[in-house]
Amino acid sequence: MPDHSHTEIVRYQAVGREFASYLAYNPARAANRPGLIVLPEWWGLNDYLRRRARELAGLGFVAMATDVYGDGREAADSTEAGTLMNGLFADVPALGERLTAAYDSLRAHPMVDPDRIGAMGYCLGGALSLHMGRIGLPLRGVASFHGALRAAHQAKRGEFKPSVLICHGEADGMVPAEDQAAFRKEMEELGADYEFHSYPGAKHGFTNPEATDKGTKYNLPLAYDEPTDRQSWEDMKTFWAKVFR
């Protein structure tokens, strides 16, 4: 299928640094369409995330592959990725400022309906998407793919606004059963509208074709799973159709 996306770099300031996110949309479609903040694995803003933004643009969204580290940074290896990721959670208020700046930037884009914005992400990005909901950003929905579920901020009932889709691999050794149980309890206590899809046999990183090779290279329990990748994408499309109707 040909790619007719318009792409651009969206620059904005937060926490004393510049961020350079990658935005995609189909220029043949009318303005005033839903916007999606697309958040990365711990590797940062890479070709995989940019591809996902273009695919989402093909579905009719304005999709922003979001720079979370600053200057469009991508980690060189797993050691640097871990250091960068841990740096985000070392200052949770500053993390909120980064994510809020991304939200504000996408919301202000002339192609976006400011009342129909969602967030989605992969691994770290799934956790960051949930964090955006937990800190009270007015998102319509959050979708997490093989994302961490543990909360870095405890939301109060009434603060958490989005519907939630969790796409989780049943064989994901990086998201413990106790975290899954705590997440379900949290959502119930918040009165959140959520659905939790657990895909048999799927491991951490199941949406990324590079996951298996990276798992081997860095001795991490990662693996791509093509059928689960396809199924979770269909589940996501159903979710966004419901959320933005």
pLDDT over 80 (residue 133): yes
| Range 217-244 average pLDDT | 98
pLDDT over 80 (residue 1): no
Which run of H or of E encompasses 97?
helix 92-107
First to last CA, the chain: 26
For the stretch 190-227, pLDDT in tens is 999 999 999 999 999 999 999 999 999 999 999 999 99
For domain 6-243, give the fold: Rossmann fold (3.40.50)
pLDDT at site 2? 58
For the chain, percent of residues with pLDDT exceeding 70: 99
Mean residue pLDDT across the chain: 97
pLDDT tier, 31 (very low <50, low <70, confident <90, very high otherwise): confident
pLDDT at site 209? 98
Rg (CA), the chain: 17
Alpha-carbon distance of 64 to 105, in angstroms, equals 10
For the stretch 171-185, pLDDT in tens is 999 999 999 999 999
Domain spans, the chain: 6-243
For the stretch 137-157, pLDDT in tens is 999 999 999 999 999 999 999
| Range 132-137 average pLDDT | 98
Report the 10 Å Cβ neighbour count for 225. 23
pLDDT at site 48? 98
